[in-house]
Structure 1
Amino acid sequence: MAGADYVQSLARGVDVIRSFTGGPAGASSTSSAGLSLAEITERTALSRATARRFLVTLADLGYVVRRRGRFELTPKVLELGYACFASADLSQLIQPVVEDLSARLGESVSAAVLDGGDIVYIARAPVRGVVRLEISVGTRLPAYATSMGRAQLAQLPAEQVRERLELPLAALTPDTVTDVDELFAQLRLGRRRGWSLVEHELEAGLRSVAVPVVSPGGEVVAALNVALGTSDGAAGSCAELEETFVGPLQEAAERVQALLGMQW
């Protein structure tokens, strides 16, 4: 039975999507011509007005298109399933690498993928309470203010980066880069040197170094980082951080790339 946290509108939206493949009642599969509004209301048991509102919303989001009075799912809907399975597979593959690197460095190590304008944590090996934020697998953080986000954004064309940014950029701390031109300068620097550093921008007293993880086909699929507190002996110059952490991070990223190559 649905509890107090049950979101009925979300459940109805899912029912509308499922109606294209037979719906929750197990109706016959959808023809290549899509579904009419009447067919969708029959399969979902929603009123015409309610079903239409959900379809308009899904169309605005790019998941549904209307042609000649009938509705069809777009290929974008595949992202909902693919992102889940791809992240789950990558998470299982990368978690041992993250744990090994954390044990080697004695520091907290994480991995995250880029999802729109956010990063989503897919693996993590925390060592001590360096980060006051509650972070676990599945946590989302704004990419622009994180080293793992910048390590991945730096590999994208500028127009794609702009599409992912929600302007104006929010200042999470007094040191957060919120000027878009300055952010792009940081991304160019990160792309040029192959790693990204964020200092006190996500959380005061936190420094984070990250490198991109590249698939065998050359596509950036994730990032690895080491999170360091400036009050626990981890403070140091940029050159010292590079010497201590970037090499091991890049070796770990290459290990992930090799593991991905074995699966492709």
Structure 2
Amino acid sequence: MDEDRAEPEVLASVERGLAVLKAFQPGQAAMTLSEVAKASDLDRASARRFLHTLLARDYLRADGQQFRLHPSVLELGNAYLETLRLPRIALPHLRNLSARFNEPVSMAVLDGDQAVHVAHVPSKRLMAANATIGSTTPAHRTALGRALLAGKPDAWLDGYLAAGRAGTPDDQPDAGTLRADIARVRRSGWLTTGSEAGVRSIAAPVHDATCGTIAAIGISSHADRVPESTLVDTVRPALLEAVQQIQQAYPRGENDADRP
């Protein structure tokens, strides 16, 4: 990390410790000292000190030369989730949708350009991918994320589309498709998407009393099991009804940590 870029009110040590924790990703659950140092942009000596501090405080555990997250890190996320009223309000409606269609149902909020899952009800059916609370996905990749992006101002979206992104081609949003989907959400209040993994989804934004987008909920299914016509004709009315019920139950005119 470049200390010259540090903000005067930001503690570099805390920033580095968080970088070490964030280095552990779903595809990189166990990491060596060298791997952590590289992922967090630290030298080996600094990475070692942060790792052993987190180990001593039970946020990490060691298996030989590898480090893994300890379940205690859940305390950090759970403290935030416990302050959110919106997922608690939404969960009964998500459960009803999941039970009715036997499909997974999720709620996400927007954090920067990432869709963050804050509630999820799995189904008994096998899915190609299953969301977990706190998991993030680039917003342009999913119906949930695009429903969230539809609530952003056009100037913000212009900057989002103009920003270069490192990574695979999947990390680069197609401007034409994304703008068409956002227009569809703004016009109709919902959209459907498909994916190369064979998953078809439908999602809709959730608004507060000022019509600001505070979240989105969506239902996913294997494309070979549920045709798009079923999503539109059968699932969509139930999804929009759940959105309406959540909006009616959500506290009106109050500031809330649920707001992205």
TM norm structure 1:
0.60
Distance, in Å, in 1 between the alignment partners of 2:82 and 2:215 is: 11
Residue of structure 2 equivalent to 1:115: 111
Distance, in Å, in 1 between the alignment partners of 2:81 and 2:123 is: 28
Contact in 2 for aligned 1:130/1:229 (Cα 8 Å): no
Distance, in Å, in 2 between the alignment partners of 1:143 and 1:87 is: 23
- Identical aligned pairs, as a percentage? 30
Mapped pair 1:244 → 2:201: no
SS in 1 for 2:250: helix
Distance, in Å, in 2 between the alignment partners of 1:87 and 1:139 is: 18
Structure with higher Rg: it is 1
Mapped pair 1:179 → 2:180: no
SS in 1 for 2:221: strand
Residue of structure 2 equivalent to 1:12: 13
Residue of structure 2 equivalent to 1:254: 244
Amino acid at match of 2:208: S
Residue of structure 2 equivalent to 1:224: 217
Matches within 5 A, 1:27-46: none
**Which of 188, 212, 224 in structure 2 is aligned with 1:193?**
188
Mapped pair 1:94 → 2:90: yes
Amino acid at match of 2:13: R
How many positions carry a matched residue from both structures?
183
Matches within 5 A, 1:206-225: 206-225=199-218
Contact in 1 for aligned 2:122/2:130 (Cα 8 Å): no
Q: Deviations over 1:199-235 (max 9, x none)?
A: 01xx51001100111112211100010101023x21x
Shift of 1:258: 1.1
Contact in 2 for aligned 1:168/1:178 (Cα 8 Å): no
Shift of 1:177: 7.8
Amino acid at match of 1:108: P
Shift of 1:100: 1.6
SS in 2 for 1:167: coil
SS in 1 for 2:215: strand
Please report the RMSD computed on the Cα atoms of aligned residues, expressed in angstroms.
3.2
Greater RCO between the two (CA within 8 Å, min separation 6)? 2
Q: Deviations over 1:174-216 (max 9, x none)?
A: xx9832133212211222221111101xx51001100111112
Shift of 1:130: 4.5
